[in-house]
Amino acid sequence: MEMQLLTKEEKQKLEAQLKQMIDQRPLISARIAEAREKGDLKENADYHAAREELALLEARIKDMEARLRAASVVNPDDIPADMVFLGSTVKVRDQKNGDEETFRLVGELNTDAFNSDAEIMEVSAKSPLGEALMRARVGQLVRVSVPRGEIHYKVLSVS
């Protein structure tokens, strides 16, 4: 698995999700034990459903653990203040129509498509827009390839 860049907050969020999944193990195991006590396992739907649920949970836990092992936390202090990087909020102007938009660059493992702030759209660093913005500096023009052509943005500010 290739290394994933994460902000400190993203890593903490993923670790909390992993803990929740691990905390579900004993609950599902108890359901399996309860269902096993009911007798014949061949025709015991509760038993089979709980075993399947536990297997899916274990697969998700294994995947999350692997992703966290492959993750690298970005220290914002190591990034120049005027450079777009993971965790940055960047304001841009579309050079064609003059519209201004604000994006937040997030790691690929971030599960939220949108921030609670409707004015700021979260963009994966691995998306075409994220890749175009990554390492751009204030005042720089970036080009983003989209299905309908290209969008040219000027980076106005980074925070």
Dihedral, CA atoms, 124, 128, 146, 123, nearest 10 degrees?
Answer: 20
- Give pLDDT tens digits for 114-126: 445 567 888 888 8
For residue 109, the model assigns a pLDDT of 61
- Give pLDDT tens digits for 79-95: 777 888 888 899 999 99
For residue 115, the model assigns a pLDDT of 47
pTM of the predicted protein model: 0.61
Q: Which of 13-17, 45-49, 55-59, 114-118 has the lowest mean pLDDT?
A: 114-118
For residue 57, the model assigns a pLDDT of 96
Higher pLDDT, 94 or 74: 94
User: What percentage of the chain has pLDDT greater than the value 70?
Assistant: 91
For residue 114, the model assigns a pLDDT of 46
In single-letter form, the type of residue at position 8 comes to K
Please provide the average confidence, as pLDDT, over all residues in the chain.
85
Integer Cα distance of 104 and 91 in angstroms: 9
DSSP letter assigned to residue 97: T
Integer Cα distance of 101 and 108 in angstroms: 21
Average pLDDT over residues 94-110: 86
Confidence at 46, pLDDT banded by 50, 70, 90: confident
Domains, the chain, in order of start with CATH, read: 4-73 (1.10.287.180), 76-158 (3.10.50.30)
- Reading phi first (left if > 0) and then psi (alpha if -120 to 50, else beta), residue 120 is in beta
Q: In the predicted model, is pLDDT for residue 110 greater than 80? A: no
Q: Which of 50-54, 89-93, 112-116, 155-159 has the lowest mean pLDDT?
A: 112-116
